[in-house]
Structure 1
Amino acid sequence: MDVLASLGLRYIKVFNMPSTRFEISYDARWDARYVKASYGAGSRVSASILPVEAFSPKSIVHVSPIPPKRACKIVERVKSKSPETLISINTWMGYIRGRRNRELLKELALKSDFFILNDSEAKALAGTQSLSTALKLLKAKMLVVTLGELGAIISREGGEVQMVPALNFPVSKVVDTTGAGDVWCGAFLAAYKVSGDIMRSVTAASIISGIKCSGWGFEKLRNLRFRGIEELIDYVIGLREGAVQKKLTDYVK
């Protein structure tokens, strides 16, 4: 709550329940296997608790991984109250299991403005081992497939496909990738909100998620502040050129 308090608690819903917790096993490539899940307060997230009075044509609503049926209800409620509000959807491998879940996720891909998956999730949802084939099979207003340190592939309505290489944060050692996908989504949408530029937003997301992975939890992000994407890119360039101390004091507040 201390972290959230700095952002304002007006639209934060608090339940007297344990936090959502996962037990995750990672392999040498940092691919995750979920061993155990306890959803806790996360199970209470629903369309009925949305602060619809906060939505506007300039808003972006991100729906993190939740059961697809519940995600559909959230999208319907947001669009019914504020049709011009942009919606981003992200899911995870566990929700791709089952034919009905896959059908609902494919519907969400068409209803949302940004449908964000990693490459493994995209292939699983499309039912193929080929990412190229998955990009052809999955239909969305804008499909964003993240590729880790490589960047992302953007597939738009009409068949346009674009590879956006990442400008990576120079990480000497990956410490913790838990939550990197959530960080990527948040950074991407925040950058898009201020710039309206997809390519620069992917760049920002790749950098921020890389910074996150260089420490435990979100410790490397909590004190960073950037006024725009240009400052973020300057920060990374400074690190690559060896100006570490100067750049840290410039941007840590």
Structure 2
Amino acid sequence: MGNLLVVGSVALDTVKTPFGEVSEVLGGSATYFATAASYFTSVDLIAVVGGDFPDQHLKFLKSRGIDLTGLERRAGETFRWKGEYSHQLNEAHTLDTRLNVFETFRPKIPDQYRSPSMLFLGNIDPELQLDVLRQVRRPILVACDTMNFWIERKREALWRVLEQVDVLIINDGEARALGGHPNLTRVARETLARGPKYLVIKRGEYGVLLFNHKQTFAAPAFPLEQVQDPTGAGDTFAGGFMGYLAATSNLSEASIRQAVVFGSVMASFTVEAFSLDRLRALDYKEIEARFREFKRLTHVEDLV
């Protein structure tokens, strides 16, 4: 089997929060995912950038051992996103989106990527997600992300995707939009009936919920003194989650729960700085240490 494969976006972000502002920094769903996952396993990345994409960003991704054979470089400008956060930091207010070369992106899977061990379908058109699934041999685990735009405009195609994936990773607002109900437990039951084995619901500062057909698992968000920029936290979570599972090749219930915590660990580092700055400086010993802190945070002795 091959590496962990991610299909998504690579972008240049301009972000303003109450704690600072950055312009034209490295971003994109595939970027955050692949960088987080690279701390656990080998990653192949499929995306598109324009001729203006800085070489320094390519060097960084390669330095993390991420294979960029599938990163297409076209004439034109790279996908750009501009957003702003209030003090609550729960939701970005999009100020400008310029898809540029990403608007006509049609993922082409190189031959050496066609047998991935695991596959993550980033937040792209469900029709494109289906096309990627047709181009690869069935991995042992497939996960995907989506957003309200696709839920509202491509619902039928999205349901066809969900029939073929093992894990759906979305936030609570997206879950309610998909299920058409405010109760997340009910939404989970109805969503799982349509195909996925697991539903992971990201709830920002309130942590993560993991549902399967039998059980529910909840992990808190790690309490931090410093949060600068939540951009990419969800994609970083997915990268930590999938990266750990790809590293262990263990899909037991216990391993899935550990993966949720590793995803939360990686997301907790990302929000401490703008862009991928915290992930650039990260050491695996820090990841292990924070995992243990998570364990202490949630441990409760059994009743005597």
TM-score by length of 2: 0.67
CA distance in 2, matches of 1:215, 1:160: 37
Instruction: Give the equivalent residue in structure 2 for 1:152.
Output: 208
Give, in whole Å, the separation in 1 of the partners of 2:238 and 2:92. 18
* Residue of structure 2 in register with 1:32 after alignment: 92
Q: Which amino acid aligns with 1:11?
A: G
Structure 1 counterpart of 2:133, from 75, 79, 99: 75
State how far apart, in whole Å, the 2-side matches of 1:85 and 1:53 are: 17
Q: Is the 8 A contact 1:63 1:71 kept in 2?
A: yes
CA shift, 1:84, in A, is 3.3
The answer to whether the 8 A contact 1:145-1:153 is kept is yes
1:14 partner SS: strand
Q: Secondary structure at the match of 1:216?
A: coil
- TM superposition shift of 1:208: 0.8
1:66 & 1:91 partners in 2: Cα distance? Answer: 7
Matched, 1:202 2:202: no
Residue 50 and residue 14 in structure 1: after superposition, are their counterparts in 2 closer, same or farther (change >3 A)? same
* Structure-to-structure mapping, 1:13-92, within 5 angstroms: 13-30=72-89, 31-47=91-107, 49-56=108-115, 59-78=117-136, 82-92=137-147
1:2 is matched by which residue type in structure 2? K
**Corresponding residue for 1:11?**
70
Tell me which residue corresponds to 2:217: 163
The AA in structure 2 aligned to 1:166 is P
Q: Which has the higher strand share?
A: 2
Report if the CA contact (8 A) 1:19-1:42 is conserved: yes
| Structure 1 residues 199 and 167: alpha-carbon distance in aligned structure 2, compared to 1, 3 A threshold | farther
Q: Is residue 2:151 matched to residue 1:93?
A: no
Alignment length (residue pairs): 227
CA deviation map 1:90-115 (0-9, x unaligned):
112222223xx122222212211221
Change in 2 beyond 3 A, CA 1:203/1:177: same
The aligned counterpart of 2:29 is: none
Conserved? CA contact 2:78–2:100, under 8 Å: yes
Match in the other structure for 1:244: none
Considering fraction of residues, name the structure with more helix. Answer: 1
Q: Amino acid of the residue matched to residue 33 of structure 1?
A: H
Q: Quick one: percent identity of the two aligned structures?
A: 22
Matched with 2:162 is 109
Q: Are 1:2 and 2:59 matched, yes or no? A: yes
- The CA deviation at 1:219 is 0.1
1:59-106 deviation digits (Å, cap 9, x = unpaired): 21211111122212112222xxx12353221112222223xx122222
Shift of 1:237: 5.2
| Partners of 2:111 and 2:208 in 1: CA distance | 31
What is the root-mean-square deviation in Å for CA atoms of aligned residues? Answer: 2.5
Q: Which residue of 1 aligns with 2:188?
A: 135
2:103 maps to amino acid: S
2 CA distance for matches of 1:191 and 1:211? 16
- Structure 1 residues 10 and 77, CA, compared in 2 at 3 Å: closer, same or farther? closer
Q: Structure 1 residues 138, 237: CA separation in 2 closer, same or farther (over 3 Å shift)?
A: closer
Structure 2: distance between partners of 1:67 and 1:127: 20
Separation in 2 of the partners of 1:39 and 1:204? Answer: 31
Aligned pairs for 1:215-230 (under 5 A) are 215-226=273-284
* SS across alignment from 1:111: coil
Tell me the TM-score normalized by structure 1.
Answer: 0.79
**Unaligned stretches of 5+ in structure 1?**
242-253
* 3-state SS, counterpart of residue 13 of structure 1: strand
Equivalent position amino acid for 1:142 in 2:
Y
Q: Is the 8 A contact 2:204 2:221 kept in 1?
A: no
